């Protein structure tokens, strides 16, 4: 029958367990000295707990908190209030009115382009005399030179409504402000505006870089109404200049300008606006 009251920590039990074994191993030493180690730990722990719990009470017992029962009175002397002197109001100094001369008006600068302007010919020249026209070669332009020796042939009609058109040979490019009748787009100014809005596209590069402004463009309306010599006078970049030139070159034929009842070449200059709606 097992004896549950046996003390397993006795040295006899330890010697019995480690009989014939290596007693230099740590387990034998721990079992042999377990009783003394437990007693030492208990003796060290109890005073520490006693000091932690009883220390504050002992300190208050020997060092009681002194309560201040006496009221400290600080005498305050009230001096006689001295009335302040009223502030003297100074009369405002007179303000001198200064009238500055108005800045000179700046003259507005107009946009100038490289447009060839041809003055109207002076019509005050006296007509030639009959003796001067004896060997003269009549034509559209009066000029000095050697009389022509050949003959000039003019093709007449063939009786079926087909006749040759006489070419004056005037390749001068006139300015729109110096001619008798301006070139006109089919539908007028409203038709031209519709054509621009229908064909002009805002370049993607200009939209990404937030480029806005006006592109000043120049072109020539030929005698047959076609548009040629498209140039950029002032651009804004971002592909807007190229887009403006593309649309102008795409323009259908105009009604040509007239000078002295003849169709002439006319240069036009106009701005095309590129605006982003934010």
- Per-residue pLDDT, 147: 41
| Per-residue pLDDT at 191 exceeds 60 | yes
Q: pLDDT higher for 132 or 119? A: 132
| Per-residue pLDDT at 232 exceeds 80 | yes
pLDDT (tens digit, 9 = 90+) per residue, 200-227? 999 999 999 999 999 999 999 999 999 9
State the burial class of residue 142 (Cβ atoms within 10 Å of its Cβ: 0-12, 13-18, 19+): exposed
- Per-residue pLDDT, 61: 79
Which residues lie closer than 8 Å to 235 by C-beta, 6 or more apart?
215, 216, 241, 244
- Per-residue pLDDT, 38: 85
Side-chain-side CA neighbours of 266 within 13 Å: the count stands at 26
CA 123/CA 133 separation, integer angstroms: 19
Residue from 233, 255, 245 nearest 199 by CA:
245
Average pLDDT over residues 113-138: 43
Mark 65-84 as b/e (b = at least 16 C-beta within 10 Å): eeeeeeeeeeeeeeeeeeee
pLDDT (tens digit, 9 = 90+) per residue, 41-86? 888 898 888 888 888 888 887 887 776 666 666 666 655 556 666 7
Report the range out of 39-48, 111-120, 235-244 with the highest average pLDDT. 235-244
Per-residue pLDDT band at 233 (split at 50, 70, 90)? very high
Global pTM value:
0.40
Other beta carbons less than 10 A from residue 87's beta carbon: 6
Least confident of 5-19, 30-44, 61-75, 152-166: 152-166
CA 265/CA 219 separation, integer angstroms: 10
pLDDT (tens digit, 9 = 90+) per residue, 246-273? 999 999 999 999 999 999 999 989 999 9
- Per-residue pLDDT, 242: 94
Q: Which tokens sit at 50? A: 């006693």
């Amino acid at each position: 029958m097992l004896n549950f009251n046996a003390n397993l920590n006795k040295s006899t039990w330890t010697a019995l367990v480690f009989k014939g074994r290596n007693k230099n191993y740590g387990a034998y030493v721990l079992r042999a000295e377990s009783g003394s180690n437990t007693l030492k730990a208990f003796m060290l722990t109890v005073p520490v707990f006693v000091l932690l719990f009883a220390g504050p009470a002992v300190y208050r017992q020997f060092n009681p908190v002194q309560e201040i029962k006496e009221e400290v009175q600080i005498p305050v002397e009230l001096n006689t209030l001295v009335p302040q002197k009223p502030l003297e109001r100074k009369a405002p100094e007179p303000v001198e009115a200064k009238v500055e001369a108005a800045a000179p008006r700046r003259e507005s600068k107009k946009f100038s382009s490289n447009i060839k302007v041809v003055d109207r010919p002076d019509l005050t020249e006296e007509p030639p005399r009959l003796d001067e026209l004896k060997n003269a070669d009549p034509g559209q332009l009066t000029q000095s030179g050697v009389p022509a020796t050949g003959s000039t042939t003019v093709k007449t009609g063939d009786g079926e409504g087909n006749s040759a058109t006489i070419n004056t040979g005037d390749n001068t490019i006139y300015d729109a402000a110096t001619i008798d009748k301006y070139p006109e787009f089919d539908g007028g100014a409203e038709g031209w505006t519709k054509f621009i809005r229908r064909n002009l596209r805002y370049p993607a590069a200009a939209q990404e870089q937030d480029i806005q402004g006006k592109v000043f463009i120049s072109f020539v309306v030929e005698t047959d109404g076609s548009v040629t010599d498209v140039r950029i006078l002032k651009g804004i970049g971002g592909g807007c200049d190229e887009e403006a030139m593309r649309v102008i070159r795409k323009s259908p034929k105009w009604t040509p300008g007239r000078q002295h009842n003849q169709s002439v070449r006319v240069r036009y200059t106009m701005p095309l606006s590129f605006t982003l709606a934010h």
